[in-house]
Structure 1
C-alpha cells in the first residue's frame, strides 16, 4: 500500500502497489531488483515514460553510498567518483554499483493482472496508470517520501 499524507492526515491510499521482484532492502545494489527502503524526495517527473508517468526519487543518497563503502560493496575509487559526481551534478550517479533511476511509476501498456498479483519491477514502486495520475496530482518535485 502507498499512502499520501499532509502532515498526519491521510489524503489518499493506493492498494495493489508492486515493488521490486527481489523484495525490499535498506541498501539496493544494481541488478538485484530490490526496492530501497528509507526517506527520499521526488526529484523529477517524466510524463512521457513507457510506464505512463515516472516520478524519480533521490536514490542513492549519501547514507547509501557511505553504508556501501563501509560494507565493502563499493571501492574507495567508486566512492570518490560518486562523491565527486554528487558535488558536480547535485545528485549521485544513477549508473553506479548501487543502481539508480528508482521512483514511482504506472504500468504503461503492461498487464494489469501481473501488476495485481506479483512484485514485478526492477526496484521501483508501481501503481496502476490511474493511481499514478492521482499520485502525481498530490506530490511535486521536492516532496518527501518514505518507503517502508
Structure 2
C-alpha cells in the first residue's frame, strides 16, 4: 500500500489533503521519537554526580582535593570524605542512590562505607531488596 507522501508523484503540485496529513503525521512521529530519546537520556544526565576540574597547568605535579584540601600527585586517584572518587581531572560520586524499594523499607546512607543501606523501617536488621537506583 502506498501513501501519497510529499515528493511522491501521486501528490501532485498542490500536495492535497492526504499529503498534508502525512506530513503532519511524520512530524508528530519524529517529535515523539526525539522526546522519547531525550527522556531516556535525562535520568543519566540528571543523576550524573561527576564534575570536571579546569585543565591542569603544564608541569603541575600535584593537585588539591576540593573537599578535604589534601594534595595528591598527578595520576593518582582517591576517595574523599564526601564519598567522591577523584583524580586530578575531577570527581564522581562513589555510590548509587536507591530509588525503588518496598514501601515498608527505608534507605540510610553509611558514610563510612559510602553506600546506602536499605532495611525494614521497623527492624534495621532485615535488609530490603532494591529494585532501582541512580548514580555511580
Which TM class, normalised by the smaller chain length? under 0.3
TM, length-normalised to structure 1: 0.25
**Looking at both structures, which has the greater relative contact order when contacts are Cα pairs under 8 Å and sequence separation is at least 6?**
1
